[in-house]
Amino acid sequence: MSSKPMASQPSDTSSYRLIVVDDDSMIRESLKAYLTHYHQANYSLLVDEASTAEEAVTMIDKTPYDLVICDINLPDRDGFYVMHQAAERVPEARRVLITAYDLDRYIRMAKQEGVFNIITKTAPFDFQELSQTINNLLMPESAMGLENYLNNPIEPMQSLVVTNSDLIMVLQGKLHEFFTRFQLPDVDALSVVMIEAITNAVYHAPRLPNGEEKYEKGQHIEALDPDEYVTVSWGVDGEKLGVAIRDQKGTVTADEVMYWIDRNVAGESLMDTHGRGMYLIYRLMDRVILNLYRGHATELILLHYISQKPPDNKPLYINEF
């Protein structure tokens, strides 16, 4: 993930203030060292540290941080408490949690506190991914586009614009062939999940003026309106495959997504058909990045590693802007 030139970024060197909260001094200091000295961007980061929740809140009281990175498991209070306090003091602060544990147990709390980005302490730890996440948090619009997630693609990225419902089947064939070419072990499951996501984008995003969905799932659509087109891109770099699915509506909210993930995690949704797709994607793919550009676009970036499998504790990345 290279840091791409960012159009929205002012040309002069700007800087952001952030605070890293973790009682594990080694992790805290490593994160600070990386972000201070190695994070490549056309802005600089001023990094403060805190080792307890109370210390963090006291510091946030004094400094309106642009970004708060906080471990969930702290000795005095938990990370959600810090997130809550940070939001009250600095509403515009970007907030991200970090944990060594599985996300499942935290989804409900994260939803309640409105924290949609959770980094996992994996081993090996992926600093490039951290850089991308920080970029996305500070400049959410730079999160859009599959090209930002593929380093030195080994073949040109491809894309197809879905203008009618028949093209969904065409895409299924193309993606199946793409996955097979890279000898993925779970080609069928992956293809099904992709089609589920694409179908959702085509059928659920377009709404009637009264807010109801315009199309019925499974209905044949001869021609979508130009503003209903869904763009699907796919590509590969040395370590992973990526697929991006993007609509032009931007009707999905982070709350909705968290609701479906939470319901599925909690096992309350055996009969749900609506949120199952999102949950399956979240389960089957190595990385899911959701870009919710309200009123403009919803983009789902799906990454599947082909070289070395990343560790099991998956992060949560939802950018809403």
Partner 1 sequence: MTTLPSPTDATLIDAIAPTIDEAPLSVVLIRDDAQVVWANRQAKTMLQMAIERQTLTTHEGMDWAQMLVLLSDKKPFYKPVDDVGLMWLPHPLERQAAQTHAYFLVWLVPSDSLELDWTMLQQDWLRQRQLANMGRMTVEMAHELSNPLSSISMAAQLMGMSIQTLGKMSQADTADVALLAKHVGLLKDNLAHLEQSLLRASDLRQEILSYARPSVIRPKPHQLDTVIQEWLEQQRSHGLAKHMAVTYEPLEPSPTILCDVGKLEQILYNLIKNTYEATNGKGRLWIKASMSADDQWVQISVEDDGPGIPETMQEKIFSPFLTTKQMTGTGLGLSISRDIIQQHGGHFSVYNKAGRGACFLIQLPRFTPNQPIPRAMAEPE
Nearer to partner 1, 29 or 239 (CB): 29
Best CA proximity match to 245, nearest among 168, 150, 130, 188:
168
Helix (H, G, I), strand (E, B) or coil at 275: coil
Nearer CB in complex with partner 1: 43/127: 127
> In this structure, are residues 83 and 108 in contact, taking their beta carbons and an 8 Å threshold?
no
Least distance from partner 1 to the Cβ atom of residue 60, Å:
21
Alpha helices, H only, 76-228: 79-89, 107-113, 127-138, 166-181, 187-204
- In the complex, the smallest distance separating the C-beta of residue 246 from partner 1, rounded to whole angstroms, is 32
71 or 320, CB closer to partner 1? Answer: 71
Our CB check for partner 1 shows the closer of 78 and 299 to be 78
Minimum distance from residue 124 beta carbon to partner 1 (Å): 4
Q: Fill in the amino acid letter for 4.
A: K
**Strand pairing class (94-99; 158-162):** unpaired
Nearer to partner 1, 33 or 154 (CB): 33
- Residue number, 63 or 73, with CB nearest to partner 1: 73
| One-letter identity of residue 117 | N
The binding site for partner 1 (CB under 8 A) comprises: 23-24, 26-27, 29-31, 33-34, 37-38, 51, 73, 75-77, 100-102, 121-125, 127, 313
Tell me how far, at minimum, the Cβ of 30 lies from partner 1, in Å: 4
Q: How does DSSP assign 51-116, residue by residue?
A: SSHHHHHHHHHHS--SEEEEES--SSS-HHHHHHHHHHH-TT-EEEEEESS-GGGGHHHHHHHT--
Q: How far is the CB of 23 from partner 1 (least distance, A)?
A: 5
Give min distance, CB of 83 to partner 1, in A: 17
- To the nearest 10°, the Cα dihedral for 33, 38, 43, 44? 20
Q: How far apart are CA 107 and CA 1, in angstroms?
A: 26
Cβ neighbours for 125, distance < 8 A, ≥ 6 positions apart: none
